[in-house]
Amino acid sequence: MNIKIEQLLEKSPNLHHSGMRHPLAKGHAVYGSGGRQYESSIVRGLQRNNLMNKHEHGAGSNADAPDSHIQTHHNGIHNLEIKQTKSAMFGQFELHHDGKKWDLAPRAVAKYPHTADAIRKSGFLREVNKTWKKPSGNYDKDLKQGNVWKMLKGTDAIAAHYNDDRHTPYIQIGGGSGLYHFKKDKAGLGTTKLTGDTQLRARFKYRKTNTATGKTEYGALITMNLKHPNKSIVDLDNKEHLKNLGSKFGASIKEEYNPMPKPLYESLGFDNIDALLSYLNP
């Protein structure tokens, strides 16, 4: 870890004890800055149109929290997932080997049971076990086994992950796709149901290098990607659409300070991710 990162950690000592895997570790880039900026732009648009409390933040780097929410005057708060593009990752699921076969990790099944059901029903685990051998403990060796892919018809697995397990009924996808509901338009916003296909990918993932032993620690997981999505008739990137939603559904929101977790760059005292990157790479 270089001297500037050490200085940042001294500046924000709580990061040492937060349980966060630090994204500034040597050899690994800070990722998702564009996605964070897009998330912030959607949050600001919702706030300007009385669809979100002005004192709240997006989820930032908190993977467990919803990215944002839409608050309406007639039926409350509805969680919102935000993706900058349709090519973003739409959820991931940890794998483990039980000594006999590859299976879904028990802690991930407990956290996301509906996602687990959808993956099991797809038959994808059979294909993983046909392709991958028992892990060797050597990251470079196991990485040579390659990825395992499967295309699923429909978006049931993605909807199970967000709507059922993460209690998030809406998703905004940038790049002209728009605002969708996964299963039901609970707030009556006039959104389109998300359709398309789901691509599953099993891969080995680097975790960290043990500084004492020099050994690479790694895991395996399944990621989901959206393919061939439809286009929604409502888009939070469209100012007129936002204005119409605000005029129809905007809530009289009490200005209570109840912030969601701040992005990492704000916790470190920077105005944006670019300022942090400029500090690290002058």
Question: What is the band of 234 on the pLDDT scale with cuts at 50, 70, 90?
Answer: very high
Cα torsion through 196, 197, 200, 201, rounded to 10: -80
Res. 14: pLDDT tops 50: no
Whole-angstrom distance, CA of residue 113 vs CA of residue 119? 10
Residues 18 and 109 in one domain: no
Whether 77 contacts 169, CB under 8 Å? no
Whole-angstrom distance, CA of residue 169 vs CA of residue 159? 8
Q: 134-165: per-residue pLDDT in tens?
A: 999 999 999 999 999 999 999 999 999 999 99
Res. 272: pLDDT tops 60: yes
Residues 162 and 203 in one domain: yes
Say if 245 falls within a structural domain: no
Greater confidence (279 vs 111) lies with 111
Residues 13 and 48 in one domain: yes
Residues 130 and 90 in one domain: yes
| Residue % of the chain over a pLDDT of 90 | 70
Question: What is the band of 77 on the pLDDT scale with cuts at 50, 70, 90?
Answer: very high
Residues 57 and 107 in one domain: no
Query: Which pLDDT does position 30 carry in this prediction?
Result: 34
Residues 85 and 166 in one domain: yes
Say if 177 falls within a structural domain: yes
Query: Which pLDDT does position 258 carry in this prediction?
Result: 46
> Which residues are CB-neighbours of 15 under 8 A, at least 6 positions away?
9, 22, 267
Residues 230 and 160 in one domain: yes
Q: 32-73: per-residue pLDDT in tens?
A: 445 789 999 999 999 999 999 887 766 655 667 889 999 999
Q: How many CB atoms lie within 10 A of CB 106?
A: 12
Say if 70 falls within a structural domain: no
Element (H, E) at 90: strand 89-97
Say if 57 falls within a structural domain: yes
Say if 114 falls within a structural domain: yes
Range of the domain at 260: 1-65+252-282
The mean of the pLDDT values for the chain is 85
Residues 7 and 116 in one domain: no
Residues 33 and 128 in one domain: no
Whole-angstrom distance, CA of residue 189 vs CA of residue 191? 6
Query: Which pLDDT does position 25 carry in this prediction?
Result: 37
Query: Which pLDDT does position 253 carry in this prediction?
Result: 56
Query: Which pLDDT does position 263 carry in this prediction?
Result: 65
Res. 11: pLDDT tops 50: no
Residues 234 and 257 in one domain: no
Residues 194 and 108 in one domain: yes
Say if 211 falls within a structural domain: yes
Residue 125: CA count within 13 A, CB half-sphere: 17
Least confident span in 65-69, 130-134, 215-219: 65-69
How many domains does the chain divide into? 2
Say if 74 falls within a structural domain: no
- Across residues 190-210, what is the average pLDDT? 97
Whole-angstrom distance, CA of residue 123 vs CA of residue 126? 6
Whether 46 contacts 52, CB under 8 Å? yes
Greater confidence (55 vs 221) lies with 221
Question: What is the band of 176 on the pLDDT scale with cuts at 50, 70, 90?
Answer: very high
Residues 43 and 110 in one domain: no
Say if 264 falls within a structural domain: yes
Whether 82 contacts 60, CB under 8 Å? no
